[in-house]
C-alpha cells in the first residue's frame, strides 16, 4: 500500500475559487484520487476536491513558511495561524 500525504477529506464549508490546471496536472490529480480511494476505502468523487487538502498539507509542512509566520522580523506582526480542523 502506498504512503500518501493525504488522508480522508474533511467536510468543511468551502470558499469558491476558480483555477486553470494543465491537463497533465489534472490527470495526475485524478490518478491520485483513485489511489487515495483505494487507500481510504472512500471514493473522492471529484478529484478537484483534493486541491485544498493538498495545498493545506503543503503549507503545513513548509518549514520556511512556518518560520516566516512565527518570526515578527523587523517589527512586523506575525501572520496568524488558522484554527486547526477537528478530526
For the chain, percent of residues with pLDDT exceeding 70: 79
Q: What are phi and psi of 65, to 5 degrees?
A: -65, -45
Average pLDDT over residues 13-21: 86
Average pLDDT score over residue span 19-39: 95
Task: Give residue-wise pLDDT tens across range 47-56.
Answer: 998 998 899 8
| First CA to last CA distance, the chain | 23
- Look at 21 and 78; give whichever has higher pLDDT: 21
Q: What's the rounded Cα separation, in Å, for the pair 62 and 10?
A: 21
Mean pLDDT within 64-69: 81
Task: Give the whole-angstrom CA distance, residue 36 versus residue 24.
Answer: 18
Q: What is the pLDDT of residue 16?
A: 84
- 45 pLDDT more than 80: yes
Amino acid at each position: 500500500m502506498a504512503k500518501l500525504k493525504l488522508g480522508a477529506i474533511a467536510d468543511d464549508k468551502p470558499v469558491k475559487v476558480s483555477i486553470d490546471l494543465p491537463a497533465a496536472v489534472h490527470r495526475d490529480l485524478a490518478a491520485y484520487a483513485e489511489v487515495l480511494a483505494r487507500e481510504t476505502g472512500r471514493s473522492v468523487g471529484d478529484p478537484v476536491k483534493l486541491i485544498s487538502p493538498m495545498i493545506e498539507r503543503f503549507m503545513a509542512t513548509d518549514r520556511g513558511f512556518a518560520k516566516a509566520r512565527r518570526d515578527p522580523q523587523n517589527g512586523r506582526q506575525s501572520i496568524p495561524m488558522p484554527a486547526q480542523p477537528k478530526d
